Amino acid sequence: MQSELNLKEGPGARLILASQSPRRRRLLEEAGYEFTVLVPGVHAECGRCSGETPAQLVARLAYQKAADVVPQVHEGIVLGCDTVVECLGEVLGKPADERHAGEMLRRLRGREHRVWSGLCLWRRPANRVQVAVDVTRLRMHEISPDTLERYLASGDWEGKAGAFGYQDGIPWIEILEGSASNVVGLPLELLARLLADAAGGVVPGS
C-alpha cells in the first residue's frame, strides 16, 4: 500500500497527478511543474453513462480519477484528467486492437472532429474541488489506404484516444481551433487558469 503523502499546500504546492499516462507526465514536466504520480484504480475509468455528452463524460471521469487517489493524500492538489475524441456525436476512446484503431481512423478520415478533456483539481485537506472541460477542434485530411495501413502497422495508435497521437507529428491531423496540449492529453492553458483562479495555486518551476 502506498504511504500517505504529506505535501504542503500554499504557493508552490506540489501537484499529485492521478494518471498513469506518460504523455501527461511529459507535458507537466515540460511546463515546469513539480508533481508526484499516484495511479487510480481501473474502476475509476468506468464507461459512458446513458445520455452523457462528451463534456459530461470527461468531467465525470476526471473527478472519479482524482477521487480515487484523494484518500492517500493528506496535503496537496490532486489532478485528475480524462480525454476522448468525438466525431459526429460518437465518442472514441482508446482502441482495443489494430482492427479497432483502423475503424476509428476510417471514421475520422476527411472529417472535422473534437478532442474533449476534463480536468479536476482536488485540494487537500480543504477538499475544495474544481472541475472544468476544454475542447479542441481538428480535422483529419483524406489519406490513402497505404498511408493508413503504414500508420496502423507502426503501432503508434496504441493507448491513444481516437487511435492517433498529435504529438507524433502526424502531417494529416490539423488543429482548427483550441489547445494543442489538450489534443495530447492535458490542456495546460486550462490547468494554469484553474490554478490561478484559486488561492494557493501551483506555479511552474516552484
Tens digits of pLDDT across the chain (206 residues): 233 343 334 444 689 999 999 999 999 999 999 999 999 988 777 666 667 899 999 999 999 999 999 999 999 999 999 999 999 888 988 899 999 999 999 999 999 999 999 999 999 999 999 999 999 999 999 999 999 999 999 999 998 888 988 888 889 999 999 999 999 999 999 999 999 886 544 444 44
In a domain, 74, yes or no: yes
Q: According to the model, what pLDDT value does residue 26 have?
A: 95
Q: How many domains does the chain have?
A: 1
**Per-residue cell: 151:** 500508420
pTM of the entire predicted model: 0.83
- The alpha helices in the chain, defined as continuous H runs, are 22-31, 54-69, 98-108, 145-154, 180-184, 188-197
Is 174 contained in some domain? yes
Residue 111 lies in a domain: yes
The pLDDT value given to residue 198: 64
Q: Is 206 inside any structural domain? A: no
Whether 35 is in a domain gets the answer yes
Residue 157's alpha-carbon distances to 33, 39, 67, 162, in angstroms, are 27, 22, 29, 8
Does residue 203 lie in a domain region? no
Distance from C-alpha of 197 to C-alpha of 188, rounded to nearest angstrom: 14
Q: Is residue 204 part of a domain?
A: no
SS3 content of the chain, % helix, strand, coil (to 5): 35, 30, 35
By residue range, what is the domain housing residue 134?
5-197
CATH number of the domain where residue 56 is located = 3.90.950.10
Give a yes or no: residue 131 inside a domain. Answer: yes
Q: From the candidates 68, 82, 97, 134, give the one annotated as an active-site residue.
A: 82
Active site residue 82: yes
- Determine the pLDDT at residue 49: 62
